[in-house]
Amino acid sequence: MTDYLLLLVGTVLVNNFVLVKFLGLCPFMGVSSKTETAIGMSYATTFVMTLASLLSYLVKTYVLSPLGLDYLTTMTFILVIAVVVQFTEMVVHKTSANLYRSLGIFLPLITTNCAVLGVALLNMYEQHNFLESIIYGFSAALGFSLVLIMFSAMREKLANADVPTPFKGSAIAMITAGLMSLAFMGFTGLVKF
Amino acid sequence: MSIIIAILVIGVIGLFFGALLGFASIKFKVEGDPLAEQLDALLPQTQCGQCGYPGCKPYAEAVANGEAINKCAPGGDDTIKKIADLMGVEVQPLDGNHETDNTPKVAFIIEEDCIGCTKCIQACPVDAIIGATKQMHTVIIDECTGCDLCVAPCPVDCIEMRPINQTTRNWQWDLNSIPVVQLDATSQEKEV
Amino acid sequence: MESVIERIDKGLFWKFHGGIHPPQMKFLTSDKPILQLPLPEKLVIPIQQHIGEAGEVIVNVGDDVVKGQPLTRSTLPISVPIHAPTSGKITAIENATIAHPSGLEELCIKLIPDGKDTWCERTICPEYQQLSKAEIIEKICNAGISGMGGAGFPTHIKVGTTAQINYLIINASECEPYITADDLLIKEHSSAILDGINILDHLLEPAFILIGIEDNKPEAIKALQNATQGIDKIKVCVLPTQYPVGGEKQLIMALTGTEVPSGVLPTSLGIVMQNIATCFAIADAVIHDTPLIKRVVTVSGQALEKPQNVWALLGTPVEFLLNECGYPQQEKKHIIMGGPMMGFSLPNNQVPIVKTTNCILAPSEAEIPNDNQEVECIRCGQCAEVCPSQLLPQELQWSAKAKDHQQLDTLNLFDCIECGACAYVCPSHIPLVHYYRVAKAEIRQQQLLDLKAEKAKVRFEARKLRLEREKLAREAKHKKAAEARKARMNSGTPEANNEKSAVAAALARVKAKKAQASAEPTNSANPSDDASSEKKSQVAAAIARAKAKKLAAKDNNSIAEKPPAEINPVIIDEKIEEKQTLDPAEAKKAKIAAAIEKAKAKKLTTEAKSSTSSEIKTETVTAPSPADAKKAKIAAAVAKAKAKKQQAEQKKEIQLSANEDITSSIKDEPIAEAVTDKKARIAAAVAKAKAKKQQTESK
């Protein structure tokens, strides 16, 4: 039990996918201008990452490995992720047309979100079992959501703040992201693996 | 042999997921698009037709189907910004083909010149002109959207667009022209 | 409720959030009695001096009015009249600069006093208890009393509430620096104020009356305590001096510990607040039948030689007051109406005193802050500490600058009372309140626009519905008419035949006329004719088709035609509605003709999308019989040409061949009968005219 909890906290804070592993930076910069959109993106990504790590574990363990097709892992994982993203897109479109529109291109782009493929592959390399895989996927998404929402809240404030002209717009966003990353580095050593 | 197995496995997985998606697309089918309604609510409802569509609603529908968002001249940059927000696209400057003069105006009929042809009444999209055949017409200023559509049909050119008078109700604070000064504490204390 | 009174009796009060202690500066005027001024040379009386709607002017230019005579009449419930402050002549009713920060002009009545100061007839009524509440409220309304503290809300509405009132709060805490008008009024007229409070007590029947007064007015407190001695119901509550304790919500908080929620009127909490000057005006109005025509104004500031409080008639230009108080002619004129915290600079010195003016400030150079440049916000948070409404001023400021109206709404901008405490403490000299004022005005404007857009939409939709309805009604009418005509045609009686030939003649005539008419207007460069000429061409084409049809019908009946010359000329206008003036027989014919015309025109418009189908239809309609096949052929040719032309028009190409087609088809028929010949010629003329018009159009 403690292991699972440690895995969760460790993935959310210490080995944060965005700010420590630098995965999934594209939506991190892209959909963080409004908190509302960021929250929507967080839900979608959480759903995709959890489901993708679950499915990829199943496919890897029960289909590919027994048949000795491990060399097909990456390809199959991409297939799995693409399907899950498509599915998510349909669900989002059905349930929240506004969110669907404001996420725009970033919703289908979850497919190419390296964090998603990253979590599936890392699951494999770390040799997580079924439950660990799910927790790892979920907590990675949780970490992603946490920093995305925090970042978007800051960017909303920055939009109205009197930022010096050379730093306006993306520049100050990058600096903010960098500072956030530095701050998250401070969690190193919190959990010993 | 292993290649065949590999192809088969990938094929089966693909088929399985394909079926899943096919089922989902039926289950989560989206009917109707509330987007046009929401866009319509953002437009200024002048019904002026400057966008090339006969009214605000048709333009809203067109935008929902991919028309450019920068064609609403009466709404100006504010409206474009709102549409961009809603659509999740970049803000664009107003289409260059349209005049950018956005001062709110209303139509005014020079009543002595009016011949009572009713052409402007037919042109008015919001029925803001009253009058009858061979009777003088006049504009209900409160209802006029300033869309300009009645100016062209008038055979005697007796309609002109006049800017809305500024009153204390629609007045906007202009900090540069009126220095509203608060007395400073320190300077007062010096006096005391 | 008891605990509230117990606390007050013990001299304990609640504390509202924030607040500041700016220098009082009240000593400038507080020790001098209220000065009675001579009559000014002229008075400028704005017709709207309160919140709500302006009354209707009931005097004319040139009228002689007496003191106290009403000048406007209140037509709406949220409107109070204004009165002549002195006797004199009305010289103008025109726009003049009013007491508003915009310096805009609004309708004012200009009065030149005659110096006699003659009163209108008044009935003194010391026994106000005898009057019913409605009568007293009417008196208050007719006296033109609106809140004199600053907002100017009509008093009769406030006191006319039917809610159960626990506390009537009398606001005597004049918290803004410099202003001493209420202070002096209490000192000099405490008994009249008590009368006013008693009248309000009679009207509202509150459980307790609390007079909130700051401890920096010892003499006024003493006067009030003396006046209210022995009345248990009235409590004089001496509050510690703090700005802005005089704000409505702040005073309620300080006295009763109740926080008035956002968007809620104090009345619904059982609290009514009245300004002390309003109480005085109510006593004057109810007991002495004196309308609100003058008020105490503090004329202060160190630029003046003798700053003091004065009794100013409403409408007195500010300049007159300043001169009476010794205003030196200095270079940099800067006059503020209202207090230093919430007032606004006047555009000029001719602005009149209105019901809500409590102070005129003429600061010296030293008092005006020396151009403190606004610098960046350093996020010190002092503004949030002093905000009496517990808002977040710096957040508001950023959102106001970014015009983020949604965010401003989330931050409750409209709960800001514009007290100026945040700007006062701001170390960066940011004029925060100004940003809020701008944002508030923008939001209000946006709301107005939204409302207007909504209205326009409704009207547009209604119009669309109406047009649709009318179209359906017209279609139904035409269908009916067509059926009736068909029935008659099939009956084969001589009348029917007559009618038919008459119709033919009428159509021919219309065509001829149109050929002429269409040639003329297309030459003129009037763009509005485009639509109508297009319509005309459609109509002409329709006529041609109608002719073909008619000919076919005739063939079937094989009845000789009558020469068209015998038939009375029928005038057909484009608007059938206007044909009611013709005599019955003609009218009938004309109607039939017009009906055909319209029906065809409509059909054509729908057919225009696929003109090939229209051609086929025309051909099927023709159905030639061997005897008069020639005639039918000509007609068909004409119709075809028209259909072709229609196509051409859509593509906006010149289609001269239509003309040629017609002429050639006519040439092929050398043995045509006279009538047919004539018809063909007319048709050709029409076609020519059309071709010409097309040419001009394409140019």
CATH number at residue B67: 1.10.15.40
Query: Does the residue B149 lie in any domain?
Result: yes
- pLDDT at B68 > cutoff 90: no
Instruction: Answer yes or no: do C401 and A159 touch at CB < 8 A.
Output: no
**pLDDT for position B151:** 86
Report the gap between the CA of B113 and the closest CA in chain C (Å).
Answer: 18
Query: Does the residue B48 lie in any domain?
Result: yes
**pLDDT for position B188:** 44
Separation CA C295–CA A105 (nearest Å): 66
- pLDDT at A27 > cutoff 90: no
Tell me which residue of C41, C44, C29 sits closest to C353, measured CA to CA: C44
**Which of the residue ranges A102-111, C293-302, C516-525 has the most confident prediction, judged by mean pLDDT?**
C293-302
Query: Does the residue B111 lie in any domain?
Result: yes
**pLDDT for position B100:** 57
Separation CA C282–CA C280 (nearest Å): 5
Phi, psi of C274 (to 5 degrees): -130, 145
Instruction: Answer yes or no: do A75 and B14 touch at CB < 8 A.
Output: no
> How many whole angstroms from its chain centre is CA C357?
26
| CB-side neighbour CA atoms (13 Å) of C479 | 6
Instruction: Answer yes or no: do C377 and A159 touch at CB < 8 A.
Output: no
Summarised one tens digit per residue, pLDDT across range C645-699 is 565 555 444 444 444 444 444 444 444 455 555 666 666 666 666 665 666 566 5
**pLDDT for position C335:** 85
**pLDDT for position C522:** 46
Q: What is the CATH number of the domain that holds B121?
A: 3.30.70.20
**pLDDT for position B5:** 87
> How many whole angstroms from its chain centre is CA C544?
53
**pLDDT for position C222:** 93
- Among chain B residues, CA nearest to C436: B173
Is residue C440 within 8 Å of C414, Cβ to Cβ?
A: yes
Tell me which residue of B136, A163, B97 sits closest to C376, measured CA to CA: A163
Is residue C607 within 8 Å of C613, Cβ to Cβ?
A: yes
- pLDDT at A93 > cutoff 70: yes
- pLDDT at C391 > cutoff 90: yes
**pLDDT for position C671:** 45
CATH 1.10.1060 fits C375-502, yes or no: yes
**pLDDT for position C663:** 44
Residue B78 shares a structural domain with residue B117: no
Residue type, B159: I
Between helices C133-142 and C181-204, what is the axis angle to 10°? 150
Query: Does the residue B184 lie in any domain?
Result: no
Q: Which two tokens stand for residue A173?
A: 């966003």
Q: Is B160 helix (H, G, I), strand (E, B) or coil?
A: strand
Residue type, A94: K
Separation CA B117–CA B135 (nearest Å): 8
**pLDDT for position B19:** 93
Scanning the structure block, which residue is given the tokens 């404001």? A102
- pLDDT at C376 > cutoff 90: no
Separation CA C59–CA C65 (nearest Å): 8
Scanning the structure block, which residue is given the tokens 């939506």? A27
Instruction: Answer yes or no: do B175 and C431 touch at CB < 8 A.
Output: yes
**pLDDT for position C527:** 45
- Alpha carbon dihedral C332, C337, C340, C341, in 10-degree steps, equals -130
Residue B113 shares a structural domain with residue B151: yes
Summarize the confidence of residues C260-278 as an average pLDDT: 90
Q: Is C308 helix (H, G, I), strand (E, B) or coil?
A: strand
- pLDDT at C520 > cutoff 70: no
Phi, psi of C258 (to 5 degrees): -95, 130
Summarize the confidence of residues C162-191 as an average pLDDT: 90
Residues of C in contact with B159 (CB under 8 A): none
pLDDT band of residue C250 (cuts 50, 70, 90) is very high
Scanning the structure block, which residue is given the tokens 């088709």? C545
Summarised one tens digit per residue, pLDDT across range C568-617 is 443 344 443 444 444 555 555 655 566 556 555 555 554 444 444 444 44
Scanning the structure block, which residue is given the tokens 């009604």? C473
- Report the range of poorest mean pLDDT among B146-150, B175-179, C148-152, C468-472: B175-179
Report the gap between the CA of C486 and the closest CA in chain A (Å).
Answer: 56
Which residue has better confidence, A189 or C309? C309
Q: Is C544 helix (H, G, I), strand (E, B) or coil?
A: helix
Give chain B's domain count.
Answer: 2
Q: Is C64 helix (H, G, I), strand (E, B) or coil?
A: strand
Is residue C400 within 8 Å of C377, Cβ to Cβ?
A: no
Summarize the confidence of residues C78-96 as an average pLDDT: 90
- Report the range of poorest mean pLDDT among A52-66, C187-201, C577-591, C677-691: C577-591
Report the gap between the CA of B27 and the closest CA in chain A (Å).
Answer: 9
- pLDDT at A143 > cutoff 90: yes
- pLDDT at C489 > cutoff 80: no
Separation CA C314–CA C292 (nearest Å): 8
Residue-by-residue DSSP string for C237-257: EEEPP-BTTTSHHHHHHHHH-
- Counted residue by residue, chain C has a size of 699
Domain range for B66 is 34-87
Phi, psi of C98 (to 5 degrees): -115, 175
Cis peptide before C40 (omega within 30 of 0): no
Could you tell me the residue ranges of all domains in chain C? 1-27+129-289, 375-502, 536-698
**pLDDT for position C654:** 42
Give residues with Cβ within 8 angstroms of C272, minimum separation 6. Answer: C158, C159, C161, C165, C167, C168, C169, C200, C204, C206, C266
- pLDDT at A60 > cutoff 60: yes
Residues of C in contact with B132 (CB under 8 A): none
The domain covering C1-27+129-289 belongs, at the CATH homologous superfamily level, to NADH-ubiquinone oxidoreductase 51kDa subunit (3.40.50.11540)
Nearest to A87 among B13, B14, B24 (CB): B24
Instruction: Answer yes or no: do C404 and A162 touch at CB < 8 A.
Output: no
Summarised one tens digit per residue, pLDDT across range C124-147 is 888 888 888 888 998 899 898 988
**pLDDT for position C544:** 61
Report the gap between the CA of B18 and the closest CA in chain A (Å).
Answer: 8
Query: Does the residue B52 lie in any domain?
Result: yes
